Amino acid sequence: MRRWLYGVSTLAAAVLWAHAAPNAQPSAAPPPEEVDVALVLAVDVSYSMDLDELALQRNGYIEAFRSKPLQDAIVNGAIGKIAVTYFEWAGGHFQYVVRPWKIIDSPAAATAFAEELGEAPTRRGRRTSISGAIDLGVQLLEQANVTTLRRVIDISGDGANNDGRPVTAARDEAGAKGIAINGLPVMLKQAGYFDIDNLDVYYKDCVVTGIGAFVIPIRDKSQFVEATRTKLLREIAAAPAEATIQKAQATNPATCLAGERQWRERMGN
């Protein structure tokens, strides 16, 4: 009797599964969300940055997303929302996504993003791979579940590429995919043992790409918040350059393998 009941139960279950199986579909991914811009914030945390500089750099983004001008620029866009992600990088094998993709469509969402950045620990790593940061930025943009006419990677750092593949190779591949790259070179100190002169020129000649691409150097600690906010406003609102934007000081073209050459000369590898 028990065997018969077990057989009936098994048969009933099989019949139910046969009827249910055709309708059993994996949950569909949500449709892409339309945004004004998809923005990758790629922030250098290599050991060449002092701890106070790291704090000022992070605080620049925090205060920018808390500011009313930036919040107004977001909600007053054609669509009224942006997608943003924030990661920190150093050498080619040191990359950490602090905040995955987030849709910001209100002042409250912008403030929440700022608070998340403020709560996250800061990590540090060795060497400088701008090319690796660009490559990860491209990967993140291709994974983002959004549709947009503007895709931007925002690179901030205090040194030239000295790890990974040449920065121009990564830059050119990103540009060929219609991705813009802007730069925020941090130039608070005189060039040291592993630094190059005129980092702003290096960023202009070797890092940034795309229509309207720009470089905003930071030469004083007091400029972090304003420079970061100005940069984000230009990226989000596609605003024209203002008179407050600082231009590169030198005019000679940069050598785009200067960082790699300097590392070999100093370290012998």
81-132 tens-digit pLDDT: 999 999 999 998 899 999 999 999 999 999 999 999 999 998 888 889 999 9
CB of 211 within 8 A of CB of 180? yes
Q: Would residue 185 count as lying in a domain?
A: yes
Q: What one-character DSSP code corresponds to residue 26?
A: P
Supply the range of the domain harboring residue 187.
39-267
Give pTM, 2 decimals. 0.83
| Residue 260 exposure: Cα atoms within 13 Å on the Cβ side | 13
pLDDT at 23: 52
Cross-strand partners of 156: 43, 184
β-pair type (33-34, 179-185): unpaired
Of the listed ranges 50-59, 158-167, 251-260, the one predicted with least confidence:
251-260
Q: How many domains does the chain have?
A: 1
Instruction: Compare 112 and 189 and report the one with higher pLDDT.
Output: 112
Q: Report the C-alpha gap between 122 and 58 in whole angstroms.
A: 9
Q: Would residue 147 count as lying in a domain?
A: yes
For 26-57, the pLDDT digits (tens) are 567 788 999 999 999 999 999 888 888 899 99
Q: Would residue 233 count as lying in a domain?
A: yes
What is the chain's mean pLDDT, rounded? Answer: 84
Alpha helices in the chain (DSSP H): 2-20, 51-66, 68-75, 107-119, 130-143, 167-176, 199-202, 224-237, 258-267
Helix axes 51-66, 224-237, angle to 10 degrees: 50
CATH number reported for the structural domain that contains residue 154 in this entry: 3.40.50.410
For 62-77, the pLDDT digits (tens) are 999 999 999 999 999 9
CB burial readout 201-229, b (16+ within 10 A) else e: bbbbbbbbbbeebbbbbbeeeebbbbbbb
